[in-house]
Structure 1
Amino acid sequence: MKKIPETGIYPFWFWNGQIKEEEILRQLDLMKNSGCRGAVIHARKGNKIPYLSERWFELVRCACCHAGKKGLKIWIYDEDGYPSGNAGGRVQALHPELMQKSLLFQYEGTDPEQPAFAAYDPESYQRLDETRVPANTPALRFHLKELAAHVDTLNPLAAERFLKVTHERYYQELHDYFGSVIEAFYTDDVSFLSCLTSGYVFSPVLEKEWHRRYGRSILESLPFLVEELPGSSEIRSRYFRLAQELFLKNFIIPQRQWCNEHGVCYIGHLCYDEGPQNSSICSFTSAMPFMKNQDVPSIDDFLLEMSDQRYLGRPYNDDSLRVLHVGNRRLASLKTYKQGASIAHQFGTGKLSAETLTYLLWEISPDFLNLQMFFELGMGVNLITPHAFYYTIGDVAGYDSVPSYFFQQPWFSHCNLMFSTWTHIAELLIQGNFHCKVLVLEPSGDIGAMCGKEVLADFPMQTQEPRESVHEIHDVLIRVIQLLLRRHVGFDLGDEVLVAENAIAGNGVLKVGNMNYDTVILTDQEHLSGRMRNILDDFQKSGGMLLDSRNDNLDCLTPDIHLTGAGTEEILVHTRNNAGFQEVFMLNLSGKDLQPELNYEGAFSVYDPLTRKSFHAESHLPNGFTLRAGDLCMLMPPKADGDRPWTESRYIPLDRGEKNPELKYIRPLNDNIFPIHPRKNFELLVPDYANIKLLYAEKLSESKIFINGKAVASTPGCHHPADPAFEAGNVEDLFLHGVNKILFEKSSDIVRLAGNFQVVRAEYPWGLGKMDLQLGDLSAQGYPFYWGAIEYTFTFQGSYDFVEVKMQGTAEVFVNGKSCGYIYGKPFLLFIGNACVRGENELRIQLCNTAQNFVRAESPVPFGIYDVKLKNNLNGSTCQ
Structure 2
Amino acid sequence: MSNYIFPFLWMRGEEEEILRREIGKINECGIQAVCVEARPHDDFCGPGWWHDMDIVLDEAKKRGMKVWILDDKHFPTGYAGGLIEKKYPERKKRYLACSVADVFGSQRPVTLNVRRMLKPAIGFWEIGNPVDYAERANNRLMAVVALRFGEGNCFAEDTIDLTDCCREGMASFTLPEGQWRVHVLYFTRTDGGNDTYINMIDAVSAHTQIEGVYEAHYEHYPEEFGKTIAGFFSDEPQFGNISDQCFDTKLGKPKMPLPWSDELEAMLTDRYGEDLRRVLPFLFAQSVEKAKEPQIRYDYMDGISRLYAKNFSRPVGAWCRAHGVEYIGHVVEDNGVHSRLGLGAAHWFRAMEGQDMAGIDVIGGQYLFGAPAQEHMAMTPCDGEFFHYTLGKLGASGGHLDPKKKGRTMCELFGAYGWSFGVRDMKRLLDHLLSQGINHLVPHAFSMAEYPDHDCPPHFYAGGHNPEFPYFAHLMRYANRMCDQLNGGTHVSSVAVLYDGELDWTCSAMPMQKVCRVLSEHQIEYDIVCLDMLRNLPGYEGFVDGGKLTINGVTFGALLVPGAEYVPGSLIAFAREHPEFPVWFVGNAPAAVLQDGDCQGANRRETDPAFAASLPVVSLEELALKIEEEGMKKIFLSEPFPLLNVYHYRKEGEVFFFMNESPDLTFDGRVSLPAGKELVIYDGFRDCCERLETGSGLVHLILEPGESCLIRECSTVSGLPKHIFPRQKLEACTGQIDLSEGWEVTCMKADGEEVLRYHEDGKLRPVSERLPAFSGVIRYEKTFLLEEEMPHACFTAQEVYEVLHVRVNDTCAGRKLTPPYQIDISGLLREGKNTITAEVATTPARDQMNYPAAPFDFTYEALEPTGMCGKIGIFSYDVN
Q: TM-score, normalising length from structure 1? A: 0.78
What is the CA distance between 1:561 and its match in structure 2?
Answer: 1.7
Q: 1:837 — aligned with what?
A: 830
1:207 correspondence with 2:207: no
1:200 touches 1:282 (CA, 8 Å); kept in 2? no
5 Å matches for 1:250-399? 250-276=311-337, 279=340, 283-303=344-364, 305-311=366-372, 314=373, 317-319=374-376, 322-326=377-381, 331-347=386-402, 348-394=405-451, 398-399=453-454
For the 8 Å contact 1:351–1:430, the answer to whether it is kept is: yes
Segment drifting more, 193-202 vs 350-359: 193-202
Contact 2:401 2:552 in 1 (8 A): yes
Aligned position for 2:572: 533
Deviation at 1:616, TM superposition (A): 3.4
- Corresponding residue of 1:863: 866
The 5 A counterparts of 1:495-510 are 495-502=530-537, 503-510=542-549
Q: For residue 606 of structure 1, what is the amino acid of its counterpart? A: I
Residue 370 of structure 1 and its aligned partner are, at CA, apart by: 0.8
Equivalent of residue 630 in structure 1, options 706, 710, 713: 706
Task: Tell me the equivalent position of 2:56.
Answer: 63
Match status 1:86 vs 2:79? yes
Q: CA deviation at 1:391?
A: 1.7
Structure-2 separation of matches of 1:281 and 1:527: 23
Partner residue in 1 for 2:690: 614
Measure the CA separation in 2 of the matches of 1:174 and 1:627.
50
CA distance in 1, matches of 2:274, 2:388: 41
- Counterpart position of 1:126: 160
Contact 1:779 1:860 in 2 (8 A): no
Residues 667-710 of structure 1 deviation map (CA, whole Å, 9 limit, x = unaligned): 43535xxxxxxxxxxxxxxxxxxxxxxxxxxxxxxxxxxxxxxx
- For each residue in 1:298-332, what CA deviation from the matched residue of structure 2 results, as whole angstroms up to 9, or x when unmatched? 11113563433354xx3xx423xx43344899844
Question: Is the counterpart of residue 12 in structure 1 residue 8 in structure 2?
Answer: yes
Q: Summarize the Cα distance change of 1:517–1:625 in structure 2 as closer, same or farther, 3 Å threshold.
A: closer
Q: Write the letter of the residue equivalent to 2:643.
A: E
CA contact (8 A) 1:91 1:162 kept: no
User: Which sits farther off after the overlay, 189-198 or 87-96?
Assistant: 189-198
Separation of aligned partners in 1, 2:38 and 2:808? 45
**Counterpart residue number, 2:228:** 181
Q: Which residue number corresponds to residue 36 of structure 1?
A: 31
1:562 is aligned to 636
Matched residue, 1:483? 518
Match of 2:116 in 1: 114
Kept after mapping to 2: 8 A contact 1:775/1:867? yes
Match in the other structure for 1:460: none
Partner secondary structure for residue 353 of structure 1: strand
Q: What are the Cα deviations for residues 839-870 of structure 1, in whole angstroms up to 9, with x where unaligned?
A: 33211011111122223537965321123533
Structure-1 residue corresponding to 2:237: 190
CA distance in 1 between counterparts of 2:725 and 2:115 reads 83
CA, structure 1 residues 330+569, in 2 after alignment: closer, same or farther (shift >3 Å)?
closer
Task: State the percentage of identical aligned residues.
Answer: 18
After superposition, the C-alpha distances for 1:693-730 in whole angstroms (9 at most, x for unaligned) are xxxxxxxxxxxxxxxxxxxxxxxxxxx959xxxxxxxx
CA contact (8 A) 2:332 2:338 kept: no
**2:781–2:836 contact (8 Å) kept in structure 1:** yes
> In structure 2, what is the equivalent of residue 761 of structure 1?
none
How far apart in 2 are the matches of 1:151 and 1:244?
15
Q: Which amino acid aligns with 1:546?
A: V
Q: Encode CA deviations 1:345-389: one digit per residue, 9 max, x unaligned.
A: 111311100111131011223211111101011111111001111
Q: Name 2:583's counterpart in structure 1.
A: 546
* Preserved CA contact (<8 Å) 2:144 2:161: yes
- CA distance in structure 2 between the partners assigned to 1:603 and 1:326 by the alignment: 45
Query: Does residue 1:583 correspond to 2:583, yes or no?
Result: no
**CA 549–615 in structure 1, closer or farther in 2 if over 3 Å, else same:** same
Q: TM-score, normalised by structure 2?
A: 0.78
Change (3 A) 1:842 1:82: same
* Partner SS for 2:318: helix
- Cα deviation for residue 277 of structure 1 reads 6.2
Residue 469 of structure 2 corresponds to residue 404 of structure 1: no
**Post-superposition shift, 1:335?**
1.8
- The letter of the residue matching 2:205 is A
Q: Secondary structure at the match of 2:468?
A: helix
Q: Does the 8 Å CA contact 2:666/2:703 hold for their aligned counterparts?
A: yes
Distance 1:221 1:826 in 2: 59
Task: Label 1:660 to 1:100 Cα distance change in 2 as closer, same or farther (>3 A).
Answer: farther
The equivalent of 1:644 in structure 2 is: 721
Tell me the alpha carbon deviations over residues 479-537 of structure 1, each in whole angstroms, 9 at most, x when there is no partner: 21111112112211111123212243333232323333332222247644443333333
For 1:824, the equivalent position in structure 2 comes to 817
Q: How does 1:409-428 map to 2 (within 5 A)?
A: 409-428=466-485
The alpha-carbon deviation at position 809 of structure 1 amounts to 2.4
Residues 618-652 of structure 1: per-residue CA shift (max 9 Å, x gap)? 33699975211111122222443342244575555
1:668 maps to which of 746, 766, 771: 746
Write the letter of the residue equivalent to 2:576: D
Letter in 1 for 2:264: L
Aligned residue in 2 for 1:474 = 510
Q: Please point out which of 782, 793, 797 is paired with 1:801.
A: 793
Aligned twin of 2:647: 574
Picking from 221, 224, 236, the partner of 2:282 is 224
Contact 2:492–2:554 (CA<8 Å) still a contact in 1?
no
C-alpha distance in 2, partners of 1:635/1:330?
27
Q: Is the 8 A contact 1:796 1:841 kept in 2?
A: yes
**1:139 alignment partner, one of 182, 198, 213:** 182
In 1, Cα distance between equivalents of 2:501 and 2:863: 48
In structure 1, list runs of 5 or more residues that go unmatched: 450-468, 672-719, 723-753, 759-768
Q: What is the one-letter code of the residue matched to 1:537?
A: R
2:559 maps to: 520
C-alpha separation in 2, matches of 1:560 and 1:187: 37
Deviates further, 56-65 or 520-529:
520-529
- Deviation of 1:122 after TM superposition, in Å, equals 3.8
Give the superposition deviation at 1:390: 0.8
Asked whether the 8 Å contact 1:662–1:796 carries over to 2, the reply is: no
The change in CA–CA distance for 1:329 and 1:101 in structure 2 (over 3 A counts) is farther
8 Å Cα contact 1:801/1:870 also seen in 2: no
Matched, 1:786 2:746: no
In the TM superposition, residue 756 of structure 1 has moved relative to its aligned partner by 4.7
Q: Deviations over 1:96-149 (max 9, x none)?
A: 122224445464465445132554324164344461249999533456435324
CA deviation after TM superposition for structure 1 residue 666, in Å: 4.0
Residues 342 and 327 (structure 1), Cα distance of their counterparts in 2 relative to 1, 3 Å cut: closer
| 2:215 paired residue number | 168
Seen in structure 2, the aligned counterparts of structure 1 residues 299 and 625 have a Cα distance that, compared at 3 Å, is closer
Q: Which moved more, 1:611-620 or 1:105-114?
A: 105-114
**SS at 2:395 equivalent:** helix
Verify the 8 A CA contact 2:495 2:558 in the aligned structure 1.
yes
Per the alignment, do residues 355 and 625 of structure 1 end up closer, same or farther by CA in structure 2, a change over 3 Å counting? closer
Which is further off, 198-207 or 58-67?
198-207
Give the secondary structure class of the aligned counterpart of 1:284: coil
Q: Cα distance, 1:659 vs. partner?
A: 3.9
Alignment correspondent of 1:744: none
Provide the alpha-carbon RMSD of the alignment.
3.3
What secondary structure sits across from 1:841 in the alignment?
strand
Instruction: Compute the displacement of 1:653 (Å).
Output: 4.7
Moved more, 27-36 or 526-535: 526-535
- Where structure 2 has 5 or more consecutive residues not aligned to the other structure, the ranges are 103-111, 119-140, 149-157, 245-255, 588-616, 854-861
Aligned residues: 746
